[in-house]
Amino acid sequence: MLLASPCKIFIQFIMKKKQINFKPFDSLKWHEVKEEDVEEVLSKDQFKDFKKNKIYSIGTGTFKMG
């Protein structure tokens, strides 16, 4: 029980860190999206840059991680 709690916090931390949001270029609102969807939209190189920089903009809007 004592170990479970820090584990849970760690998992939540990892999951939270991986959360990806998308903001359309003509809006101020961010929407949560799945990583698979981002992979579909971005090319391999773009996705690699996104993973590295945690942010990537394309014509339709901006992806942000974390």
Partner 1 sequence: MACNLTRGRAINCKDQIGGLSAIYVTDFGGLGTITYTSDAISNMSGSFTIFKYDLNGQANTFTTTATSSRENGTTFFASTLSVTLPKLSKEENAELKLLAFGRPHIIAVDRNGNAFLLGTINGCSLESATLTSGAAQGDMSGYTMEFQSEEASAPDFITGATAANPLAGMSSATVTVTVGTNS
What are all long-range contacts of 50-54, with beta carbons under 8 Å and residues at least 24 apart? Answer: none
CA nearest neighbour of 24 among 61, 57, 59: 61
Nearer to partner 1, 12 or 57 (CB): 57
Q: How many Cα atoms occupy the beta-carbon half-sphere of 46 within 13 Å?
A: 13
Under the binding rule (CB under 8 A), the answer on residue 58 touching partner 1 is yes
Question: Which of 5, 6, 40, 59 is in the footprint of partner 1 by CB under 8 A?
Answer: 59
The window from 4-12, 22-30, 32-40 that contacts partner 1 (CB under 8 A) reads 22-30
- Can you give the binding site for partner 1, defined by CB under 8 A? 23, 25-28, 46, 49, 53, 55-59, 62, 64
